[in-house]
Amino acid sequence: MLMRSNPIYDYVERLSELLRTDSRQAGAVHGLQPVQLEVLHYLSVCNQYSNTPMAVTEYLGQTKGTVSQTLNVLEKKGLLSKQLDKNDRRIYHLKVSSKGRRLLNNTIPTTMFVNACELLTEKEQSEIENSLKKLLTTLLQANNMKTFGICRSCRYNSKIKKENYFCNLVQQPLTNDDISLICREHESNISLSET
Ligand code: SF4
């Protein structure tokens, strides 16, 4: 029987393989496996409601055990630290250290990816970004998965005045920096047809 083929799937699969190989090489220089680099990267771009072991588990879709081992490796290497929550002592937050941020600056995006982007015009990069965003949003919505989107595009985000925002879910003010971070509670403020 003929295999079903989907060119979008084939392209995404090939891209994933290439990026995974490149990421493996980039991480190996620092003694890190791809999943460890991925967790460090996630923690550098997520907000204060999303930097817990539970959120990392949800984001990666990995088991608690795998995430726990990964976090221990990153902590031992001095790339992150664990800090107890001020209000709930059962929860701790994971903060990327300055050493971890330096490592990420030198590693992500990987050289292979940067080389490719340099050959694309800004318009081409913008078109690819929009298409990939639509594909990702559709995939997440079609499968009832958390979006982990950027705060500024969340339906709970209200602009109070210039550079002042408010989260209507957790009822807390948000800064200009906060709204550029990704959040486990994010819910898109646009419908699929608008993405
Ligand atoms: S506005 Fe949305 S994305 Fe931003 S902190 Fe609140 S729930 Fe998270």
* Residue 190, pLDDT score: 66
Q: Where are the domains of the chain?
A: 7-119
* Residue 18, pLDDT score: 95
186 Cβ below 6 A of ligand 1: yes
* Residue 183, pLDDT score: 97
Both tokens of 29, joined, read 């220089």
Is the CATH code 1.10.3720.10 the one for domain 7-119? no
Residue 114 CA to ligand 1 center (angstroms) comes to 30
pTM confidence score: 0.89
What is the DSSP secondary-structure string of 99-151? Answer: HHHHHHHHHSS-HHHHHHHTTS-HHHHHHHHHHHHHHHHHHHHHTT-----BG
* Residue 194, pLDDT score: 47
Q: For residue 42, give the 3-state DSSP assignment.
A: helix
Tell me the one-letter amino acid at 135: L
The stretches in the chain having pLDDT less than 50 are: 193-195
Residue 33 CA to ligand 1 center (angstroms) comes to 30
* Residue 4, pLDDT score: 73
Strands (E) located in 40-189: 80-84, 92-96, 157-161, 164-167, 172-174
74 Cβ below 6 A of ligand 1: no
Upstream peptide bond of 109 is cis (omega within 30 degrees of 0):
yes
Both tokens of 14, joined, read 């090939």
Q: CA-to-CA distance for 74 and 95, rounded, in angstroms?
A: 11
